[in-house]
Chain A
Amino acid sequence: MSVELPPNLSEAAFARAMSAFSTVVGRQWVLDSDEDRTTYIDPYAMGDGLNHAASAAVAPASAEEVQAIVRLANEHKVPLWPVARGKNLGYGWASPAMPGTVVLDLGRMNRILDIDPKYGHCLLEPGVGFYDLYNYLEENKIPLWMSIPGNAWGSVMGNALERGLGYTPYGDHATKICGMEVVTPTGDLMRTGMGAMTGSKTWQSYQHGFGPSWDQFLVQSNFGVVTKMGLWLMPAPEMTIRVKVELPKADDIAWAIDELHQLRLNNVIEHPFVFGNFMHDAAVVSQRSEWYDGKGALPDSVAQKMMDHFGIGWWRFTLGLFGHEGVVKAKADVLRKAMEPHLGKPLEFEEWRRGEPMDKSAARRPSATALQIVNWRGGRGGHMGFSPVMPPDGQLAHKQFRAMKARFEEHGLDYYTSFTMGHRHINNVNLLLYDRDDADMTGRARALFNALIADAKANGYGEYRTHLDFMDPVAASFDFNGGALHRLNETVKDALDPNGILAPGKNGIWPRAYRKGDRA
């Protein structure tokens, strides 16, 4: 396997850099064998993923080691791609945007530094996974609940820094970040918010600090390496109610989104939730070949057979109510009045009270089962998310669903979608499922993705998060005033990171050293 070196770096210079990194972390934590490089290639890429091949990885064990590595990277002009646990599934895994970049794998930094049951917050290192934090809260009977994404294999911090979503009232994870410790692109160490004061007693209590607030500036960015992150956790509620709803007809989306928007806007439903089509579950519990082996997208008649077989609707969603019993029951009445006239039958509530088995609650345990979707086509299955943000309006959602479904069918791919309801928006998360080894299929998937970016832009919708392959075109779609935001991002990037060391190309932000047209 040939090694893709960082641009502008000779083999000898690269070897000197690896040797220098070894003096900081020890030789065993400079991961530069062929086998190591293989482990950092996106296992779900459209194709072989080598367009984002890393040259090596380096794994520090502390913020001090991160600082030392970053300083050496500046000295040796070696670009670094920080990852927490590297499980950014569907968005590029642990791979860097620019081939040849060295992955800065923070997975060894995996301490839960603090959990405060009274104030409801924690302080974590990057390598702490959802399972780790969940287990710790359970084992120690700490009455705080986590928000957990659909696939919980990854890092709590990494997910929040990518604006990941969970399904409790704390499910918009980036908004629950409170205070960070950060290694700057030149190797300095700073703390954000109230943590900028030595001996601060409120680092995890107040999000804004004094003067400009920098936490969100470090989200989906390449302006620093986050080595500690504060996160708010939800007090365990007295009671929850959970209700699963099935909508039999595809066109039910129009009325449902309007009703659900009102419930979200007025805080009756306080959590993000997946309003997903039948494929969400069918692609986990079955494979395509069990239903259809023809060419082109799954026909509607086959889809109906699947729904009939599993007894599920075209659309499915689960709503939860969390809090004190009186509040939960009052909200349950509002929910009934909003939904039951449309459904023509009573909602079936599942109640949970403190002390009962958690499986009955409206919160979920960590699980990686959702990853089963990559096996929909068998072989080396891949997936990629296309996720524009749109208004929570029933007619617009109906129009979007019909247009997207037609686009998937035009490209011969099965339509897998969710209109995930936020407070005042929808994350329309669509997954493209493909066989990585079928060049024709991955070609169609790539063409579909590009068509969807253009369609979304024409509608005034932009993506909330995207795969490495599409960071540049998605960034380019944010084009107000000739791309003024992009110009600011790159101005800031060049000022903070003059050697362009940290994550070149992350979310379309390129440092001068590697910018197209500026490369030496």
Chain B
Amino acid sequence: MTRMEALFLALAGVTIVGATGLAGAQTRPAPAAAAAPSGEALFLGKCGYCHLEGGTGTMMLERRLGKGKALLGKRTDLPADYVKAVARNGLNSMPTITRVEVTDAELDRIAAFIASKKKAGGK
């Protein structure tokens, strides 16, 4: 398992209420990920289903644009507005992402992360 995958698996996007006992009998706060996660963390949690190593989005991008542009999390050539437009409108076989799945505020952070030229692994 790669570091990216490990991070992805560690990012449960859900709120956990009770781990044992009867429903609702025990409560504990949501994990830290729920409190304003970074663009990178959101990318891993929301886009990681398809856009990590071996993912279906990575495979599609590699076929279309070559290996160098396959991993979305390492791209530095995509403007934030383009990323947002693709997420909401889909592209080729990539489906659309609703505002329930990724809010506008979250998409802003994800798009800023993808557009950033300074992220780890960027060229």
List A residues at the B interface (Cβ < 8 Å).
29, 31, 35-36, 38-41, 43-44, 57, 59, 85-86, 93-94, 105, 107-108, 110-117, 123, 127-129, 131-132, 134-136, 138-140, 142, 153, 201, 203, 228, 287, 368-372, 374-375, 378-381
Contacts and interface: CB of A to CB of B under 8 A. Distances in A.
A215 to B, nearest CB: 16
B32 interface: no
Given A107-B100, A371-B50, A114 B24 contact: yes
19 contacts: A29-B100, A31-B99, A35-B88, A85-B101, A93-B95, A94-B98, A107-B101, A108-B100, A110-B15, A111-B14, A114-B21, A131-B9, A135-B10, A287-B63, A369-B54, A378-B92, A379-B93, A380-B92, A381-B92
A150 to B, nearest CB: 12
4 tightest A-B CB contacts, nearest first: A43-B95, A39-B96, A107-B100, A39-B98
B17 A113 contact: yes
Interface in B21-64: 21-25, 49-50, 54-56, 59-60, 63
Chain B, interface size category, equals 35 or more
Contact of B21 (A116, A132, A134): A116
Contacts, number: 127
Nearest to A33: B99
A209 to B, nearest CB: 16
Contacts of A111: 14-17
A108 B101 CA distance: 8
Centre residue among B10, B12, B13, B17 by max chain A CB count within 10 A: B12
A361 B20 CA distance: 26
A59 B14 contact: no
Q: Is the interface of A mostly helix, strand, loop or mixed?
A: mixed
B80 interface: no
Contacts of B19: 114-115, 140, 142
A136 B16 contact: yes
A227 B15 CA distance: 15
A113 B11 CA distance: 18
A86 B98 CA distance: 10
A114 B101 CA distance: 23
Centre residue among B11, B13, B21, B54 by max chain A CB count within 10 A: B13
A139 B97 contact: no
A369 B52 CA distance: 11
B32 to A, nearest CB: 13
Nearest to B30: A111
B99 A113 contact: no
Given A105-B98, A105-B100, A112 B56 contact: no
Contacts of B97: 39
B100 A372 contact: no
B55 to A, nearest CB: 7
A39 B99 contact: yes
A85 B55 CA distance: 20
B90 interface: yes
B100 A201 contact: no
B18 interface: yes
B13 A132 contact: yes
Contacts of A134: 9
A31 B24 contact: no
Contacts of B49: 131, 153, 368
A59 B99 CA distance: 10
A375 B94 CA distance: 9
